[in-house]
Amino acid sequence: MRRKIVAGNWKLNTTLQEGVKLALSLNELVGKGVPENVQVIVAPPFTHLTEVRKVIGNKTGLAAQNCSAQKSGAFTGEVSAEMIKSAGAGYVIVGHSERRNYFNESDLDLSSKVINAIESGLQPIFCCGEKLHEREKSIYTEVIKKQVHLGLFDLDAEHFKKVIIAYEPVWAIGTGKNATPEQAQEIHQYIRHLIEEQYNSDMADNTTILYGGSCKPSNAREIFSKDDVDGGLIGGASLSADDFYSIINSF
Ligand code: PEP
């Protein structure tokens, strides 16, 4: 059975103290139980990783929000996948649209980040998704195909097994406007089809594909009920332990 995941992306929010408090509140709720086969993950800022690791139980996964395309050396301000792993994380978000769009991260950079992450023992949560004008022009499948091909499909099958994909339509992120469950299902099924073409049907069946974009307690249940939707990457709503826990319990 495919693993379900609910991952919270805290983005550029919370001081260290606020982050630890949020993690403690979440940990208390998660301690009451989560649905079977659901992996909970939190992605705080880099500075919080080690402290958050100490307060979330070992059942909750820890992710960084980005990693360097470089392994080490004279790259001031960068944080490598290996450093993230050594801070106690097991996952890293790669290719979030905010990184692609505000920091001009290219498909080539993202491919290097994915490889570095896997070689360092992290599971990448690879984000893809179209912008509003691309959806309006009905070229969204081409956009996603290109992102997935260039970012992921250089991986051999053993490496690809570590990948988690998040479909995040850019027009739905932080806008309050979520994709409909049918729109999410269409793209998740399409991504699975791309994986089958590139690898095989087992790989397509076993890859966890998350939906992200204004997912909240009021819409998560309907979105997660779709066959090819295996959970969510949650931004704004993950900053409230209660809302995030309610989303976790939407399966
Ligand atoms: C995200 O940042 O990945 C995201 C989906 O944000 P939000 O839930 O706030 O739209």
Q: Give the 3-state secondary structure of the chain.
A: CCCEEEEEECCCCCCHHHHHHHHHHHHHHHCCCCCCCEEEEEECCHHHHHHHHHHCCCCCEEEECCCCCCCCCCCCCCCCHHHHHHCCCCEEEECCHHHHHHCCCCHHHHHHHHHHHHHCCCEEEEEECCCHHHHHCCCHHHHHHHHHHHHHCCCCHHHHCCCEEEECCHHHCCCCCCCCHHHHHHHHHHHHHHHHHHCCHHHHHHCCEEEECCCCHHHHHHHHCCCCCCEEEECHHHHCHHHHHHHHCCC
Q: Who lines ligand 1 at CB under 6 A?
A: 9, 11, 168, 173-174, 212-215, 233-237
The pLDDT of residue 176 is 87
Average pLDDT per consecutive 10 residues, the chain (251 residues; last block may be shorter): 95 98 98 96 98 95 98 98 98 98 96 98 98 96 98 98 98 91 98 98 98 96 98 98 98 92
Distance 74 CA to ligand 1 centre (A): 32
Taking CA atoms only, the protein residue closest to ligand 1 atom 4 is 235
Q: Which CATH class is domain 67-212+223-236?
A: alpha beta
Let me know if 197 is a catalytic residue. Answer: no
Which of 48, 96, 130, 188 is flagged as catalytic?
A: 96
Let me know if 96 is a catalytic residue. Answer: yes
Distance 169 CA to ligand 1 centre (A): 10
The pLDDT of residue 177 is 87
Distance 200 CA to ligand 1 centre (A): 30
The pLDDT of residue 58 is 86
Distance 73 CA to ligand 1 centre (A): 32
State which of 168, 170, 240, 244 you would mutate to test the pocket of ligand 1, scoring each by most atoms of that ligand within 8 A of its C-beta.
Answer: 168
The pLDDT of residue 57 is 87
The pLDDT of residue 178 is 86
Q: Would you list the domain boundaries of the chain?
A: 67-212+223-236
Taking CA atoms only, the protein residue closest to ligand 1 atom 7 is 235
Q: Which atom of ligand 1 is nearest to the CA of 168?
A: 5
Q: Which atom of ligand 1 is nearest to the CA of 96?
A: 3
Q: Which atom of ligand 1 is nearest to the CA of 166?
A: 3
The pLDDT of residue 26 is 98
Distance 212 CA to ligand 1 centre (A): 6
